[in-house]
Amino acid sequence: MEHKSWMASGGKPIRCRAAVCRKAGEALVMEDIMVAPPMTHEVRIRIICTSLCHTDIKYWNMKDPPGIVPRILGHEAVGEVESVGGEVSEVKQGDFVIPTFMAECGECRDCTSSKSNLCSKQPFKLSQGMPRCGTSRFTDLNGEVLHHFMFVSSFSEYTVVDVAHLIKLDPILISPDKACLLGCGVSTGVGAAWRTANVEKGSTVAIFGLGTVGLAVAQGARKCGAARIIGIDVNPNKLTLAREFGVTEVVNSRSIGDKSVSQVINEMTDGGADYCFECVGQSSLIKEAFACCRKKLQLDLFITHEIGFEDINKAFNLLSEGQCLRCVIWMTK
């Protein structure tokens, strides 16, 4: 079927503000851009708020492929549907949605299995454009193409996302600042704990990065019976040291800056490890939203800073320097 714009939903480009990465490692440039209308199977959304993830920092600093510029980064966000493309029935204008970098078609063997989170119809790949056709929906005012990031590109007031990368939620369940965290960071932790580490009720769990602080507490964690570390970006040398402390497996290590590990664990679980959360699709994210509503997930404790969109570079400085866990960036503040 021809991949074309859906004229019934307006079919006009939108001019809006975006934070564009023009050069690796340099401050993002706030500028006006054009966002094309959604094509078949696509949805254009107005971003309400977004947050900054270490993966954004990693690709922001990357000078060689798959790092590429100019690009609109950002992949943890929440927004409102502005318009939909053809063959989209899952969401409609005005719906509250969370974009995700992992697709879920809902039909393939992997999507219908509780043991997989990688859609076999639309598997994850490092693409510069939309997942089905590879083209971009962003251009600057000179007509230059701006590349996408992880199928989301939330550092823009408007973005276009494939419907297989969207999750509809009731805004009564969860506020936007907490909802945006479910798109990557929180759900990644949940999957690592529940699916890979098999954390269950009664388990003793330690969550820390393999930096100076992490290595200092690894031995103590082992004494408590912890055999796994959960996070990302593991340095092989640090991993060797961790194993000397008796840790048998690393599931993904994530830095938490200079904050005390025990302080983070105590704050997030009221003194006792409960669970921490890999992006596992719609059903899991909806469960997490319900858990947040029931106060079982204290997502507000992840949010250490909140800023307006025009100050987005401040968020990069805070996270790069280890001064925050999550900084929520509001498009209008």
**Structure token pair of residue 200:** 């269950």
Report the distance separating Cα 217 and Cα 208, nearest Å.
Answer: 8
pLDDT in the model for residue 263: 43
Report the distance separating Cα 184 and Cα 312, nearest Å.
Answer: 19
pLDDT in the model for residue 192: 61
Q: CB 15: neighbour CB atoms within 10 A?
A: 12
Whether the bond into 70 is cis, omega within 30 of 0 = yes
Find, among 51, 53, 43, 101, the residue nearest to 78 by Cα: 51
**Structure token pair of residue 220:** 């103590």
pLDDT in the model for residue 182: 84
pLDDT in the model for residue 278: 41
- HSE (CB half, 13 Å, CA atoms) of 87? 12
Instruction: Note whether 127 and 50 are within 8 A (CB).
Output: no
Instruction: Note whether 8 and 82 are within 8 A (CB).
Output: no
Topology given in CATH for the domain delimited by 7-183+301-330: Quinone Oxidoreductase; Chain A, domain 1 (3.90.180)
Question: Hey, what long-range contacts does 95-98 have (CB within 8 A, 24 or more apart)?
Answer: 95/168, 96/168, 96/169, 96/170, 96/171, 96/179, 97/43, 97/45, 97/166, 97/167, 97/168, 97/169, 98/166, 98/167, 98/169, 98/179, 98/180, 98/182, 98/183, 98/285
pLDDT in the model for residue 285: 60
pLDDT in the model for residue 333: 66
Find, among 45, 40, 131, 132, the residue nearest to 86 by Cα: 40
Find, among 143, 156, 163, 117, the residue nearest to 9 by Cα: 163
- Ramachandran area for residue 306 (φ above 0: left; ψ -120 to 50: alpha; else beta): beta
Which residues belong to CATH 3.90.180.10 in the chain? Answer: 7-183+301-330
**Structure token pair of residue 226:** 């912890």
Task: Please report, for residues 58, 113, 202, 216, the alpha-carbon distance to residue 208 in angstroms, rounded to integers and kept in the order given.
Answer: 19, 30, 19, 10
What's the 3-state SS for the chain? CCCCECHHHCCCCEEEEEEEECCCCCCCEEEEEEECCCECCEEEEEEEEEECCHHHHHHHCCCCCCCCCCECCCCEEEEEEEEECCCCCCCCCCCEEEECCCCCCCCCCCCCCCCCCCCCCCCCCCCCCCCCCCCCCEEECCCCEEECCCCCCCCECEEEEEHHHEEECCCCCCCHHHHHHHHCHHHHHHHHHHHHCCCCCCCCCCCCCCCHHHHHHHHHHHHCCCCEECECCCCHHHHHHHHHCCCCEECCECCCCCCCHHHHHHHHHCCCCCCCCCCCCHHHHHHHHHHHHCCCCCHHHCEEEEEEHHHHHHHHHHHHCCCCCEEEEECCC
Which stretches in the chain have pLDDT values below 50?
1-9, 210-280
